[in-house]
Amino acid sequence: MKRLRSILGNSGAVLTLVLAVLAPFLLFGWFQGAIGAARLHIDPTYSGGEVWCVIEREGYRMVVNHPVSRRLPWQRIGPFVQITWTPADRLPARVSEQIDIDGDGTPDVLVTFDSKNLIVDVTPLGARYRAMHSQGVTSFSALIARVKDGIVVRIPLG
């Protein structure tokens, strides 16, 4: 009887360990479905907003996102628009682009940056955007950073 309890106890422990290791893999689809059904999404403040348009250039492209505004009064992050240049390794050493952000046919900003040292200058061509000179991250709404295979520039709104 003592031997039978020992075998059953050890078998139960091994089975529990195997189930604990396999449970995440077996239940992954269920968790993925539950999270998808909850309609969770990343806040635009962190994702940069939804893509508005993609501008193709020779050898690279610019992804212009919709402007992100401050939604809650206590948010310390100011409104901005995010532009991503990809692929970063195919960009020229110095990029200078006049960009029509709102789609009205006239350029809104002149963005000039050094793709190696990540120094950006933004010159507004209208009243909606603010001028910016940045090396790296000066604030969450005014920055230049290399993210994955692109260079992200966030331009503060005025």
Residues 90, 71: contact at Cβ < 8 Å? no
User: What's residue 95's pLDDT?
Assistant: 94
Which tokens hold the place of 11?
């078998």
Tens-of-pLDDT digits for all 158 residues of the chain? Answer: 788 888 988 999 999 999 899 888 888 888 888 878 888 778 888 888 999 999 999 999 999 999 998 776 666 788 999 999 999 999 999 999 999 988 888 999 999 999 889 999 999 998 889 999 888 777 888 899 999 999 999 999 88
Domain positions in the chain are 1-40, 44-156
- Residues 7-45: b if buried by 16+ CB within 10 A, e if exposed: eeeeeeeeeeeeeeeeeeeeeeeeeeeeeeeeeeeeebb
* pLDDT computed for residue 63 by the predictor: 96
pLDDT confidence of residue 22: 85
Which contacts of 10-15 are long-range, i.e. CB under 8 A and separated by 24 or more positions? none
pLDDT score at 111: 96
Interatomic CA distance for residues 17 and 20, integer angstroms: 5
State the DSSP string of 77-121: PPPEEEEEEE-GGGS-SEEEEEE-SSSSSS--EEEEEETTTTEEE
